[in-house]
Structure 1
């Protein structure tokens, strides 16, 4: 919805207001949830195979298809190794986050270190958008926070106590209202401090505030989310990766061919918004999810990776693992 309406409306419009206000629950929520479903184990073969099959190959295939679509729309074919197109920057960052996570978990103060790295990174314009470096470092503490939440020990009472539910609702309402009032004058998508209207020595303050406020808002969102299955919404949630990969193929022609430029009245904006909702519903349907499985879960074991090694049989010969154990 935000990718459809964000670039299509002028500043100050109804949908622009929605876009800015909902930003804290856009990228930060995706980052924290991605961390919650990640593993902090060692970079062993199974872990690496998962990165290849679930991130690298799907993103590369989607990258080629999006570049081909640009040609069909009359645009120039581009295939840059360092800059994945449009929404695929998140998958590039997710690859780095998952590669860095085993190292981060070994730090003595991981949240402090990742937050410091996120704040310092804004001072180096050389990082930029290449390999999603700026966004990778900026959202790294949120990814680690999500991983800790996925372990089930961090903020456990927040998710179980009945007293926290009204606090979460109040936090969402006040936080989203404050996001619109406070963040609107600043470029909420900026990743470099050169865009922040503050002295250079204080340029890190807005980023720190945004990271802290986003984490708090996502915690509130997760608290008010029901634990039970919700008809179709739960199905759409499971299809989030499919929606993420497929929606640019439909949104980009809508923007490039100029249909979005013809949206002027509030009624037309509302129709466009509802059209984006309908697109998400269709892309999240079980049928589309099955049809898109070769793209979202490619069978890499058949054509790319060697067969998985068979587990060794358990027995007396496999009990001892080292000469010291044999002697012992």
Structure 2
């Protein structure tokens, strides 16, 4: 699940010093994910909720993907890295998809165990697996970011590219994963942390101006944005023709939103505290928050209590609830309880010898799973 820094195979394990900037970014990003999911049921009955939703979705999923790309390995995947893809991504996906299938069945639905159709938030695990496998090949190309952008735009024209194995989101959001990897190659973190306070605040004022302008545009044009179905573009989950965009220029809207998201990701990182904060330590638990928050929000989403027009206080209450959920699921006790299914130690799953064309070699014991997650 890389959302974690991969270790280099064959070298002794050395615990890396965590950078507060990135732990802060991780926790804020995942909290925005929870907020977006929490307020979804309000957007049809409230313009304010729809404005907040569009504001969050303009950058929060691209940001989450970019942070994952920042910590991804771009070199050839060795045996140890392949083991981790199975234990950190495939195993939790199978477990949680099975749980969601059983839950729907217990609530009166049909029992349909279909691992090709990810339940709710689980699409991210499938996409993350694909991005991790694709990255070593993409970085061999001369212009990996440009090529990933072209892939994303082109995939939107093909209606057969749908949610099966999260293919639409995998290809649609691919540029942000590559963008995150490029941020690491550009060594921007070191440059940013080395800047003096005066220059830092100049950049932060520019970032605040960008976010303020975005909020102003959304607020002043909320009806037009509903009509244009901008929400569907921001989800990257459907081809353009499936929500009424058969025109050739539809890809231009995705490109524009993508470029905006790149700028917003940078602006967000400029605003993230560079030093340790009260929530810095919570940044190591984002996969727990991601996989578990949907169970806490499920009763609110499915009970119908949030349907229709709601009092004005409901939106801020849900945003506050999202923060509390994010804090709750970051607690050490939650990590201890759910580590067996989120960071499993399944050494029994792998054979101790790896076959080669000259025979077999004995594999070194795997290190215990790291908690360093984005």
Question: Which of the five TM-score ranges fits, normalised by the shorter chain?
Answer: 0.7 to 0.9
Equivalent residue, structure 1, for 2:142: 108
1:4-15 to 2 correspondences below 5 Å: 4-15=38-49
Which position in structure 1 is the counterpart of 2:214? 175
Aligned mate of 2:247, from 200, 215, 219: 200
Structure 1-normalised TM-score? 0.86
**In the alignment, which residue of structure 2 is the partner of 1:23?**
57
Distance of aligned partners of 1:287 and 1:75 in 2 relative to their CA distance in 1, 3 Å threshold:
same
Other-structure match for 1:220: 267
What RMSD, in angstroms, separates the aligned Cα atoms of the two structures?
Answer: 2.4
Q: How many residues align?
A: 309
Deviations 1:97-155 (A, max 9, x none): 11100000100111111111111111111111111111111111111010111235358
SS at structure 2 position matched to 1:244:
helix
Please give the per-residue CA displacement for 1:265-311, whole angstroms capped at 9, x wherever unaligned.
Answer: 1123433333333222211222212211112101111x212347139
Aligned partner of 1:309 in structure 2 is 363
- Describe the superposition over 1:31-87 as per-residue Cα deviations: whole angstroms up to 9, x where unpaired: 111101111110221121111111111111111111112123222223212111110
Distance 1:118 1:280 in 2: 31
Q: Deviations over 1:221-272 (max 9, x none)?
A: 01111121111x2233221110000011121222222232377211234333
For the 8 Å contact 1:165–1:223, the answer to whether it is kept is yes
User: What are the equivalent positions in structure 2 for 1:149-168 lying under 5 Å apart?
Assistant: 149-153=183-187, 157=191, 160-161=194-195, 162=199, 163-168=202-207
SS in 1 for 2:341: helix
Alpha-carbon shift at residue 168 of structure 1 (Å): 2.0
Q: SS state of the match for residue 136, structure 2?
A: helix
* Aligned equivalents of 2:117, 2:139: Cα separation in 1: 28
Among 90, 95, 102, the alignment partner of 1:56 is: 90
C-alpha displacement at 1:209, in angstroms? 0.4
1:187 maps to what in 2?
A: 230
- Kept in 1, the 8 Å contact 2:193–2:274? The answer is no
* Alignment correspondent of 1:245: 291
Which is greater in Rg? 1
Residue 211 in structure 1 maps to residue 258 in structure 2: yes
Unaligned runs of 5+ in 1: 312-328
Structure 2 stretches of 5 or more lacking a match? 1-34, 353-361, 366-374
2:158 maps to which of 113, 120, 124: 124
Q: Is the 8 A contact 2:126 2:165 kept in 1?
A: yes
Higher mean alpha-carbon deviation, 84-93 vs 249-258, is at: 249-258
Secondary structure of the residue aligned to 2:73 is: coil
- Looking at structure 2, the residues matched to 135 and 211 of structure 1 have their Cα atoms a distance apart, in angstroms, of 13
